[in-house]
Every structure is written in C-alpha cells, then in structure tokens.
Structure 1
C-alpha cells in the first residue's frame, strides 16, 4: 500500500447499513472467518498486539504508527488481558473528557482531536489510524484523508454509526480500490477528493 504522505486513515469494519456496532454496542456479528481474513496482513498494524503475536504476524509500523480512539472504542478491551494497551506496538491516543489514564504507549487526553491530528500530520512517520468511533470520526471528518471500510454482509438496523449525525457539508471521496471476497465481505477504499 503506497500512501504519499502521513494521512489520517479511517479503517474499520462496518455493516451494510453503515454501523460499527449493533444497537447494544456489540460488534461480534462481524465474521472472523473466511477468505477476507487473508487481507488482514495488508493492515497488520491494525491488529491488537497480542493477537498478532499469537498469529505470528509481524507488525513493523509501516502502515500505521499511531492509533486514535474514542473512549467507548477503547473501553471495549478493558478487562481483557492486554486490553489496557491493546495496540502497544503503536502510539495510542484515546480521547475522553471524562476519563484519565495511561498505559504502555497509551495516552488518554481531553485535547481537541483536530488539533492533535494536525500536529501528528506535521510529524514524520507512517499514517495515523482512526480506529473509531463514530463521534470521533465526525469530529475529524475534515481531517480524514482516506477511508477503508470492511463492509460485512449484515444489517444491524441501528447502533453505532460510522459517522455520528451532524449538520455539516458533504465531503467527497473517490473510490480507490475494492476487493470482494467469497465470504461476502468487501473491502472498499476511498481517498478524499482534492
């Protein structure tokens, strides 16, 4: 994958109706079996560190060196071994106005996400992964350079949307690549129109 600059990349699994999770916040309906799983190697840096270690997948930070999460996305892993620092091979920045904390390569901050992203883009390094959730994606909509969605053949009918409802002007993205798998999963990649 050749990206020209340090980009903010929104990389996430979504349902056909554009949700990151079901109405009860669950995301376990996304299939972890099938031929689409081979595509994970392309985004090895987006696999939790413990999972990649277990699977013998190398993570060299060539794709992403930083991950951004809202508190609710981060909190999914709390209570799971290694969940306090799920992507310890990356610099992890968790945005929260109500929580504090730190861990290995992890910072919880109440700084403005736009200011943080603009500062990160000025640094040298690999791309910045926007892991989720929808509220954070909405706050960063003008900073997102690329969207890569793993669209699963399920409909939640509600839940956590990829972008939270907000009154903003439409943003245009151009289709860069699409890969369809027999599992029914489709990986679609868009770049911001310039």
Structure 2
C-alpha cells in the first residue's frame, strides 16, 4: 500500500504559514533548499526546476494533494499547474472548474480520495502539501511526517494541523541538521 506523507515546512513553534497564508519567512535557508533539490526535487514547482538544477523523474512522490489555500498563491502568480510532473489533486469546495487539465479537483470527502490513491499499485508516495485544514481532515491517513523546521519563531499563523485535540504518537526515524540552522525530521506513525 502506498503511503501518505505530510511533507511541509514549519517554524520552530509549529506554524506552516503567516496568518495571511504567506510563507516567505520560511524560505531563506540555503542548506535545506540544497537538500530538497537532492532528496525531494519533485516537491519544487516546475517553474523553478531549471533555476534550481532539477531534472529527471520524481524520486519519492508521484502524486500531490493540497488544499485550495495552498494551491491559490500559485494560481495568482499564473501557475495553474504547479507540479505537472506529478498527479495533482486540489481539495476545494469553492473552485468548481479546474484551471488546468493536469489538476483534479476534489469537492467531496478527501479521505475517500486518499484511501483510493493509497490502494493503488506502486511504491511511489503521495505528498500531502498542505494546509492545516486538509491535514486535519486526513489525520487518520497520514503515515509519515517530514518536517522541515526553520529557526524562526512565528508566534501566530497557520498551525501544522487544524482539528480537535486527539494525541497520536509518531516515532522519529531520522533528523538532519544544517549549518544555517534548519533541520529535517522524518517521523512515522507509531
């Protein structure tokens, strides 16, 4: 069975974006970006692949699922298919017609969609790109977390998850620390 990985950036106090959804404050860390290019290049949007030296097929994921708020900043910048090298799903109740034939809209229950994707044959993973509302809705299906943590305290913003209090244990499998203060930790569901 394929696994769903919540692969996301966060501040050290657990926020994935500013209150307005911006995430520029989590971007200036060169060492982590070099690691992303080497290990998870498919998670970079296609329009920056050439500038980042990304070429070749996906390594870890062949599918991305994201919420509307995660998708819309790219649309506003003219990128209606940010990851054409992956199967793209956008969970939304407000966008009623796909802006690209490469993007599948999910208007119903995202759990049903993710369970169907996980049941498919293959060993490539499914990337949950965000955001907090979708991560909360898919909480029971998340098999792994890959948290890119930056040495910034946000104090408020969009948290890693929205949802009810429901503690769930994950086991840390590896942590990489970078000279610029960033780190990446991979957790699996216990």
Q: TM-score, normalised by structure 1?
A: 0.91
Distance 2:32 2:182 in 1: 6
1:46 matches 2:78: no
Aligned counterparts of 1:18 and 1:73: Cα–Cα separation in 2: 17
Task: Indicate if the aligned counterparts of 1:100 and 1:109 stay in contact, CA closer than 8 A.
Answer: no
- 2:139 matched residue in structure 1: 141
RMSD between aligned alpha carbons?
Answer: 1.4
CA contact (8 A) 2:39 2:59 kept: no
Q: Distance in 1 between matches of 2:27 and 2:70?
A: 18
Matched length? 187
Contact 2:21 2:69 in 1 (8 A): no
- In the alignment, is residue 152 of structure 1 matched against residue 150 of structure 2? yes
Q: CA deviation at 1:140?
A: 0.5
Question: Secondary structure of 2:154's partner?
Answer: coil
Deviation at 1:168, TM superposition (A): 4.4
| CA displacement, residues 84-135 of structure 1 (integer Å, 9 cap, x when unaligned) | 0101111110001121232142111212111111000111231000000000
Secondary structure of 1:101's match? Answer: coil
Does the Cα contact within 8 Å between 2:150 and 2:182 map onto a contact in 1?
yes
* TM alignment of 1:42-121, pairs within 5 A: 42-81=39-78, 83-102=79-98, 103-121=100-118
In the alignment, structure 2 segments of 5+ residues that lack a partner are: none
User: Is 2:23 the counterpart of 1:34?
Assistant: no
Partner of 1:15: 11
**Which moves more between the two structures, 24-33 or 114-123?**
24-33
TM-score (norm 2): 0.93
1:160-179 correspondence to structure 2 within 5 Å: 160-164=158-162, 166-179=163-176
**Matches of 1:114 and 1:53 in 2, distance apart?**
34
Q: Write 1 or 2 for the structure with the bigger share of helix.
A: 2
